[in-house]
Every structure is written in structure tokens, then in C-alpha cells.
Structure 1
């Protein structure tokens, strides 16, 4: 039987034991640890294996197909499915080497840019044979959610940062772009794994991958790695971005910053790394360039 941590219920412990016995991926002495529990999913570490179960079995099947295709197409490591129980919505894969850049304690090596280009180019190559959902959430809705996030974090920002955010939110959102570009769609530093020298060793959490406006991934990269990196990745994939493209990238970076800041302040001690990253990235994210 898999070790039974207090944070897993009896059904989950039974499922882990059954999976381990049938697939031979762990034995009765392998420790299990709950990583995250959402309304529709749960993620557990069993030794060096990540086990995820979701109520959305179609989304899990779609992610499995994408990960299998990326494993062959991407020179940058991505999770490789070890098992997929389609009827249960269960996916398991071995943890990749490296530490999330969010908590690595070292700056990213310049080669991270090339690795990001490689993995995003691989994503584009596999999409013709792997179906992705369309995420065409309009910029007006992003703007509305950013306003709500700002109200929840305003008091924590202080006068000058709050003024900068208000200036941003006082502008109309940029026009929407077509949702036709394959995107990781959550390309923050928590999902970029690096070694001790800050070199990219893997990209994880492809759950939200979709056809979306191209500013989504670039916006996350601007927020976390700076505008030079974000626009260089764009340039290598698609050529020089237009002024309208740059405006959308900055818009999404700022909306994503507010989203992460609100997330961090919900549990500031448990999410200290997110809070530190938000303060570190505030200056370049809200720099007055437009």
C-alpha cells in the first residue's frame, strides 16, 4: 500500500495503490504527497512521479496527446506520460530535472531565450496533428478582471505603484487579435525549470495550452523575464512585432501581473515566492513606454 498522508482521502489512497500495483511505477514503500487540490482536479507526488486526476477527462486526453507529440518534437524536455487512464481522467509522468525558475534563486541564463523559442516552435509543429481548444477570451474581459484584482491589492501596493496601475487601467484595452496561435497559455517562471546555472531544463504544466492570441505567452514572459526577452522570442518566432502587437504584449503582462499579485496576497506566507516575483517584476512590467 502507498504511504497514506493525512491530506489524501481513502478513495485517493486506494486509487494510488491500484495504479502503482497495475503499472509497476511505485511500490508500497513509496511516499505520496498532495501537491494541489482544486475543484475538479488533484495533483500528487508519488516518489518522483506526478499523478494528476481531473473530472474533465477530455481535457486530460487532449493534454496526453499533446505531451506525447511534444516529447518527439521538442529539444527542450516536457513531461512524458507514463500512464493515462482515460475513463478516470488520470495522467502520470516522471518529474523533470530542474527547479522552477520562480524559486531557483539564480537569474536565468541568456540561453533560456533560445530554449523558449525551441519549445514554442515545437508546439506549433505538432498542432496540425494534435487538436487544441480555442481560447478567445476578449481583452475587455481581461481588463475587467484586472480592475477587480487591483481593488483587492490596492492597499498593499503603496501610492506610487498604485498610481502606475491606475494609469494603465484608465486606458482602453487594445483591440483583440485572432486566437489562432498555439500557446502554452501559462508560461510563467513557475513552469520554467532551470539547473543551478539558470539554464532551461524543461517546461511543465501544459494543461491550458490552446489556440490563443500570440500576446498571451509573450505577456507572461515580459512580466517575468522582461520586455527584451519577450520581444526577442516573438521576433525569432514571427519576425518583428508591430506596435499593436507590442501594446497587446504589455497589456497582457500587466493583467497577468495583477492576477499573480492578487493570487499571492491571498496567502502571502504560503505564496511568498509569487509575492517576491511580483515585486521584482513590477518596475519593468509597468514601465511608462506608452
Structure 2
């Protein structure tokens, strides 16, 4: 953490009476445009994209009264700093508790995704129209980055998927989390959902995006149950889109884990655990 970041966090805590001068911040994540810090029970997210942050804050404010599922509640939004502050939600990511998946998780996911579709934040969510052909091209690049790690048999199974034509890009766009992986679903020891976090990528997009991620991490039973709870039992073409996005995002997560194998062990373990159900069914 740089001295400038420490000074920014100290000013936030003092100005908004959130934490004391003696609080010790830690860095949770850092990307090309975003950094996330933890300070004395609070989460501080800083981004260079202040417009995207404003959309996220508007959505979180709207969701707070629209769903029983906990989501981050903005306490401080500083556009001048590109900063959002909220209280840290309890629980641990399902990425680290894969044995905690059950009906309670399915019901919570249906509840929160129904609420996302119902609210009307201002400013509104953007449209994410990344076509399926582009998803497939990205997946092919990710295979090349991961081929030696996968081994011959698994690489061949992935390559067979990549040789197929992608399903047609769907014209229907619905509001969704758009990054609903297991790392963003928090649960307690009993398997109750204690929060859905990281709404940065929320957008109007193909509904198979979120359910595809659920299939990737939690299995087809959960993903198809959530899809049915939102839109009725998925037809074969919708199942094909769900599996397509699950497989593309599986490759994306594997490539992400391989960028920092020591620091992203959970992602690599999840990729190994989920390979069979992602690439073995339809």
C-alpha cells in the first residue's frame, strides 16, 4: 500500500467518522483500474471509472430495500476520489465453501436476481452486448494460456468445445449481476447466504451470463433451478447458452488463476473441481 493510499484512507476515516487514526488498513485486491481495502470492519473500493462507480452505487441503493438478501449498502460515495465505502458483510465466499450449496442458496439467488430485474436505478445500468463469437475468441486465447496446465485429455475436451459454433447471440437483455461467481456469494456455516458482493459489472445482458457462472461453480442443478425460478424451465436453446457461458467463463477463471498460482490457489482448485460437470454435460 502506497503512502498516498494510506493518507487517502486516513482522511476518509477522519472526515466521515468511520474509523480511528490507529486503524490498520489492508489491501484485499488490486487490478489495473480498481483497488479494494479493508479497514476496521469496512470495505473501501477505489476505481478510476467514476461513472461505473456511480451506476454501482445507484444500483446498490435501489437494491437495499428490494431484496431480503444482504448486499453492500453504500455509506460513503466520493466521486472526487472514485471511492465507495460500505460495511463488510459477514460470511465466507462459496468459492471456499463449496460444500455449503443447498436450497437456501438457490432461493436467495432467485430472490436477489428477481429484485435486480425489478429495480430502476438512476443512472441506469449499461448494456453489455459482448457477442458470443467474441466470447468464443476470448476462450480460445485462454485455452492457449492454460493448455500445458490442463494436460492432453482435458485440453482435447476443451478444444472440442471451442471447435463448435457458438449459440446465436440472444437479443433479449435483462438486468443482472453479470459476474455471479462463487467468489461473490457469501454464506455462513449453515449454508445461509449472508451477502452478494461486487456489483461492479452489473448490466443489461443475456440472462445466461449469470446462470452460466452458477453452473460453472455450483453445478447444473443449482443453475437450472435458478433459471427456472426466474423464467420457467429452460428450453434446450437456453441450456445451450448457459453451458456455453459456463465453459467460456471456466477458461477465463483458469487463466486468471494461472497468472498468479500462489495467490489464486482457490481459483485453480475450483477449476479442477468443476471441470467434469462444466465440460461433461449439456
Bin of the TM-score, shorter chain as denominator length: over 0.9
Asked if 1:92 corresponds to 2:75, the answer is: no
2:7 matched residue in structure 1: 14
8 Å CA contact retained: 2:100, 2:187: no
C-alpha distance in structure 2 between counterparts of 1:209 and 1:135, whole Å: 9
Offset of residue 228 of structure 1: 1.4
- Does residue 237 (structure 1) correspond to residue 237 (structure 2)? The answer is no
Question: What residue ranges of structure 2 are gaps of 5+ in the alignment?
Answer: none
How much has 1:75 moved relative to structure 2?
A: 0.4
Which one of the candidate residues 6, 16, 23 is aligned to 1:23?
16
Tell me by how many angstroms 1:288 deviates.
4.2
Aligned residues: 282
Contact 1:30–1:47, Cα closer than 8 Å, also in 2: yes
Deviation at 1:111, TM superposition (A): 1.2
Who is 1:250 aligned against?
243
Distance 2:50 2:278 in 1: 36
Match of 1:190 among 178, 183, 205: 183
Q: What is the DSSP-based 3-state SS (H/G/I as helix, E as strand, rest coil) of the residue aligned with 2:10?
A: helix
Question: Hey, what's the Cα distance between the residues in 1 that align with 2:53 and 2:268?
Answer: 30
Deviates more, 1:156-165 or 1:19-28: 156-165
Alpha carbons 2:126, 2:204 under 8 Å: kept: yes
**Which residue in 2 is equivalent to 1:40?**
33
Residue in structure 2 matched with residue 51 of structure 1 by the alignment: 44
**Deviates further, 161-170 or 101-110:** 101-110
Q: How do residues 126-137 of structure 1 correspond to structure 2 at under 5 angstroms?
A: 126-127=119-120, 131-137=124-130
Structure 1 residue 95 displacement after superposition: 0.5
Question: 1:135 touches 1:179 (CA, 8 Å); kept in 2?
Answer: no
CA distance in structure 1 between the aligned counterparts of 2:105 and 2:155, rounded to whole angstroms: 32
Q: Report the Cα offset of residue 187 of structure 1.
A: 0.4
Q: Does 1:227 align with 2:206?
A: no
Shift of 1:86: 1.9
- Other-structure match for 2:66: 73
Per the TM alignment, residue 127 of structure 1 is displaced from its structure 2 partner at its CA by 3.1
C-alpha separation between the residues in 1 aligned to 2:64 and 2:21? 30
Counterpart Cα distance in 1 of 2:233 and 2:34 = 39
Moved more, 231-240 or 112-121: 231-240
Contact 1:106 1:196 survives alignment (8 Å): no
Pairing 1:215–2:202 present: no
Whether contact under 8 Å (1:134, 1:179) holds in the other structure is: no
Q: CA deviation at 1:106?
A: 3.3
Give the conservation status (yes or no) of the 8 Å contact 1:222–1:249.
yes
1:123-150 deviation line (CA, Å, top 9, x unaligned):
1111365510000000000000100100
* Long gaps (5+) in structure 1: 1-7
Counterpart for residue 264 of structure 1: 257
- Determine helix, strand or coil for the equivalent of 1:69: helix
